[in-house]
Structure 1
Amino acid sequence: MAGANVSEFVLGGVAACGACLFSNPLEVVKTRMQLQGELKARGTYQRHYRNVFHAFFTIGRVDGLLALQKGLVPALWYQLFMNGVRLGSYQCLVNLGLTKNRKGEVSVPRSVAAGAVAGCTGAFFGSPFYMVKTHLQAQSHNVIAVGYQHTHSSFTTAILHIFREGGVTGLWRGVTAAVVRVSAGSAAQLSTFSTSKELVIKANLFHPQSIAVPLLAGMASGVVVVCVMTPFDVISTRLYNQGLDARGKGLYYSGFTDCLLKIYQKEGLLGFYKGWSASWFRLAPHTVLSLLFWDEARKLYKKARGAV
């Protein structure tokens, strides 16, 4: 039983890493667009990135094509830890029957609660890697620079710098925003994935073991996640990327609530949806791929165990 539970965490993390290889360039674009015009009213700042496609072209032309994979190492570690814990925890709750009602059917409220708990746990473990990922992805040539510019040369130097600057707790700076972000996204993602998967199977459109089942369920889940998660994603990116003053306090925001209020006051409601298109282009395929890889990996693992 213990070995099976451990496998759920490993399979979830590996599946998310596989998706990350494809989605990381979109994460770079999303991060830049979310930091563009930070705490400035619309029309008062230069827009280096007009849309997703323009951002891809601009980053590739100015920073080089390899810049589109900036932060890949911490991004992979983040996916391994955050989604390994998140998906593994959620599946353990599913295995215990905690996401179903008395009739044995998938319960939306229970699935949402299980997804939120799993997301909260995963966000805590993955927080240091997300911070470093954001710092590295925001780095660019000063011609197209947006947001605070950190000077880390690699993943390792970034971790050491942050640790020296703020100690162990410094590695978890901004974790409150990450917990809200991932909890909201996870609750939306996992509950809609489970529900959509059940509906697709009941419709008898495909064989229950067909790859089309998790693919369609993942597509439906991706749309919901983008709508729910983007505002929290913007807040999380801002808090993680801000610099620190001489006292070790954030230069722009003191915390989650302060960041939320300042974005609203300076940028309006649309400020919470900066980079929305990039978020969709990134989250939708990442959600589909990670859930698809996860579902298929679990099938292969069960088949392998059955053959032993």
Structure 2
Amino acid sequence: MPLTRAEPAAGTEDTGAVAPAVDLVLGASACCLACIFTNPLEVVKTRLQLQGELQAPGTYPQPYRGFVASIAAVARADGLSGLQKGLAASLLYQGLMNSVRFYCYSLACQAGLTQQPGGTVVAGAVAGALGAFVGSPAYLVKTQLQAQTVAEMAVGHQHHHQSVLGAMETIWRQQGLAGLWRGVGGAVPRVMVGSAAQLATFASAKAWVQERQWLPEDSWLVALAGGMISSVAVVAVMTPFDVVSTRLYNQPVDGAGRGRLYRGLADCLVKIWRQEGPLALYKGLGPAYLRLGPHTILSMLFWDELRKLAR
């Protein structure tokens, strides 16, 4: 989920090449294209993060064990098409969230805010927070659809939605408009932290690769290598928030629309730590990295190519 512009050098910004409105369309399109390839990893990650929810270690079934075995388990239970569960909601989320993020960050670049000390991190975090808020309903539905499976392979609460629009209609009818933003308290910190980490590390990682002269200076492989290095930092800081966000979005609610399992971000963190141990906050770490790495790289590659066409 890249927010970085195509920097000519570390610490500089190419603010005049593409207008913010164009960046909005190109950035969202690039991330949606990448999502098509990485959504199966998102399905596996969601299932792993829900496994063992609020149950003592060793007392719950674990139908998903490891990355490769979990992919096979999803395919056996839901068919090959099950690996693309929630794709429409994922595309909607990527389009909404990244259009807002790219546009806001591009505006910050134009205003020169990113040239100030720490400006890149702050602009990325604020843009990420706004994007996460706008895209929250789509992420809510995506999580619930991806968790749905046959009874013997089910983890977490099963909502039994039939479609994206059907899910939104059900949530609206049962919980009101606010219900579509349930769990946003976990999503906003997740995207803020991820955006800030990515923006703070990508340019320096790419510059480090260029200094080593392992690859041609103008090659797209430089951005690819920089993105993979940067994604390690992003995954390290994002995964605990990602686990909490998944749990908050998927939990059942009472008649008043309040979560039955967790009261909010802090309550969820404490319960996971106490009942499943601190390492549970890194559930799905392997799939998370294998999803975020290719997603970052593909998004940046598609974005660069689309920006070339736009220019």
Q: TM-score, normalised by structure 1?
A: 0.91
User: Kindly tell me: are residues 159 and 85 of structure 1, through their superposed partners in 2, closer, same or farther at Cα, counting changes over 3 Å?
Assistant: same
Tell me which moved more, 172-181 or 211-220. 211-220
Q: CA RMSD in A?
A: 1.7
User: Kindly tell me: are residues 297 and 200 of structure 1, through their superposed partners in 2, closer, same or farther at Cα, counting changes over 3 Å?
Assistant: farther
Aligned to 2:59: 44
How do residues 184-203 of structure 1 correspond to structure 2 at under 5 angstroms? 184-201=193-210
Pick the aligned partner of 2:190 from 172, 181, 185.
181
Query: Which structure 2 segments of 5+ residues have no match?
Result: 1-15
Pick the aligned partner of 1:73 from 88, 96, 100.
88
How do residues 1-308 of structure 1 correspond to structure 2 at under 5 angstroms? 4-101=19-116, 109-201=118-210, 206-302=215-311
Q: Distance in 2 between matches of 1:113 and 1:194?
A: 15
Deviations 1:251-293 (Å, cap 9, x if unpaired)? 1011111111111111110110111111111111111211222
What is the deviation of 1:92? 2.9
Query: Which structure 1 segments of 5+ residues have no match?
Result: 102-106, 303-308
Specify the SS of the correspondent of 2:176: helix
Q: How many equivalent residue pairs?
A: 295
Q: Distance in 1 between matches of 2:101 and 2:217?
A: 25
CA contact (8 A) 2:32 2:94 kept: yes
Specify the SS of the correspondent of 1:38: coil
Q: Distance in 1 between matches of 2:36 and 2:306?
A: 17
What is the deviation of 1:10? 0.9
Tell me which moved more, 199-208 or 210-219. 199-208
Tell me which moved more, 189-198 or 60-69. 189-198
CA contact (8 A) 2:175 2:256 kept: no
What is the deviation of 1:158? 0.4
Specify the SS of the correspondent of 1:99: helix
What is the deviation of 1:31? 0.2
Tell me which moved more, 240-249 or 24-33. 240-249
User: Kindly tell me: are residues 206 and 54 of structure 1, through their superposed partners in 2, closer, same or farther at Cα, counting changes over 3 Å?
Assistant: closer
User: Alignment identity in percent?
Assistant: 53
Aligned to 2:8: none
CA contact (8 A) 1:113 1:187 kept: yes
CA contact (8 A) 2:20 2:102 kept: no
Q: What letter corresponds to residue 267 of structure 2 in structure 1?
A: D
Q: TM-score, normalised by structure 2?
A: 0.90
Q: What letter corresponds to residue 285 of structure 1 in structure 2?
A: P
